[in-house]
Amino acid sequence: MPKASLPPGLVVKLGKTVWQTLWQIMMARLAPTDAAGAYVRPNSEFRQGLDAIEGAKPGRYRLIVGMGCPWAHRTLVVRAIKGLESALPLWIVEPSPDEGMWRFVDDRVGWRSLPDLYRTAQPGYAGRSTVPVLWDTHTRTILNNESADIIVLLNAAFNDCAARPDVDLYPEALRSRIDDWGDRIYHAINNGVYRCGFARTQVAYTEACTLLFDTLNAIDAHLADHRYLCGDRITLADVRLFTTLARFDAVYHGLFKCDRAHLRDYAHLWPYARDLYQQPGVAATCDFVTIQRDYYGNLFPLNPGGIIPLGPDPALWQRPHDRRAMSAVPGSEEN
């Protein structure tokens, strides 16, 4: 006699119910949401400022980063542009897909995982252990774990040990404009792609995706007659935008459903992104292989099969951007 089997329709319904239930449980742990199903990013908890850094002597501090993380990537870009590679060594972590935490690549640093380091800084700590981290080796504590703060600190407090101290990414005369751009970019783009990918309702996703592309379109129009966001010089506003753009086609377009357009479809935004990528030292901060591996390989609820796409050809980023002529004084920029 043939073996009894469940009707196909019942199998599909059962599988869908089980998966959706498990997905909601995993997403609740991965990405907290509000009542409407919109992703709400938790606040960073270590927020010391400029007054906490005493002279920023070379070798005292460490920058802890994950190469796939866009928030950590901001700090790497500023470190490269300012020429802080020798003065501010890196400790690199990578995500463990099975343990759900960042683990140190080099166990000689003294900790196995990032949560271990956080508990050294604050015994009993039970919050989120995130990158980037600005670590003080003398006091063995976390000075700051908020990327928006750290890039300001690297621009100013580390000037005495920077190879390019004359480069100011946060000039006082432009700070209001830089901050305005930063707020807009964070809500709609930096965090906006996550609000698309981590949305738990159709309404929340549609709202986030619409705002994301409305803002990208507006920035593309702005860049038609501005080389950079604040004019003829690179600022922290550009850094904050760049690290999301660097991941857009490779990750966010597919995995996070940000699929109304590719970055390479934009007439001005795409050359602008290549302009930033081709600045001295910046390309070395862009590890596209790790970026795709970390997102597709570790965000299990969004990619349960674990298959990592080949992604766009990184060589596209080396194409000429032809934006130097937009500067008020051609040749006055760093690149």
Cβ pair 189, 212 in contact under 8 A: yes
Tokens of 16: 């869908």
Query: Is residue 194 annotated as part of the catalytic site, yes or no?
Result: yes
Which among 61, 69, 161, 286 is annotated as catalytic?
Answer: 69
Q: List beta partners, residue 309.
A: none
Catalytic residue among 170, 194, 228, 272: 194
Alpha-carbon torsion 103, 109, 110, 116, what sign?
Answer: negative
For residues 274 and 327, give the distance between their C-alpha atoms in angstroms, rounded to a whole number.
16
User: Which long-range contacts (C-beta less than 8 Å, at least 24 apart) are formed by 330-335?
Assistant: 332/232, 333/227, 333/232, 333/233, 333/234, 334/81, 334/167, 334/234, 334/279, 334/280, 335/275, 335/278, 335/279, 335/280
* Catalytic (active site) residue 69: yes
Q: Is 2 helix (H, G, I), strand (E, B) or coil?
A: coil
- The CA-CA-CA angle for residues 202, 206, 212, to 5°, reads 145
Task: Tell me the C-alpha distance between 177 and 174, whole Å.
Answer: 5
CA dist 228 to 143, 276, 278, 330, Å?
31, 9, 14, 14
Give the residue numbers marked as catalytic. Answer: 69, 194
